[in-house]
């Protein structure tokens, strides 16, 4: 699945499967602390490797979809 994001009138294609917290924050347009809070609360799954945390793109997409307001 290809994901595109419109940033400053420019479309970028994101094909990356895993993000660091910093990359995840950039992907959805939030702060790193927001990502960390969601990880620690259990709302956003992650994999820990030493000091680094990795978040799967599809988990970010699912989290955003679950917050959609109709």
CB within 8 Å of 23: residues ≥ 6 apart: 16
Look at residue 7 and tell me if it is in a domain.
no
Q: Residue-wise pLDDT tens for the chain (70 aa)?
A: 566 665 555 666 668 999 999 999 999 999 999 999 999 999 999 999 999 999 999 999 999 999 999 9
Number of structural domains, the chain?
1
The whole domain housing 42 covers 17-66
pTM of the prediction? 0.77
Look at residue 12 and tell me if it is in a domain.
no
Look at residue 27 and tell me if it is in a domain.
yes
Burial class (CB in 10 A: 0-12, 13-18, 19+), 21: buried
Look at residue 10 and tell me if it is in a domain.
no
- Main-chain dihedrals φ then ψ at residue 67, nearest 5 degrees: -100, 5
């Amino acid at each position: 699945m290809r994901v595109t994001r419109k940033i400053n009138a420019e479309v970028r294609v994101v094909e990356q499967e895993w993000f660091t917290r910093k990359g995840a924050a950039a992907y959805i347009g939030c702060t790193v602390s927001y990502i960390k809070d969601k990880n620690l609360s259990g709302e956003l799954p992650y994999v820990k490797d030493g000091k680094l945390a990795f978040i799967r793109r599809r988990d970010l997409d699912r989290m955003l979809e679950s917050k959609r307001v109709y």
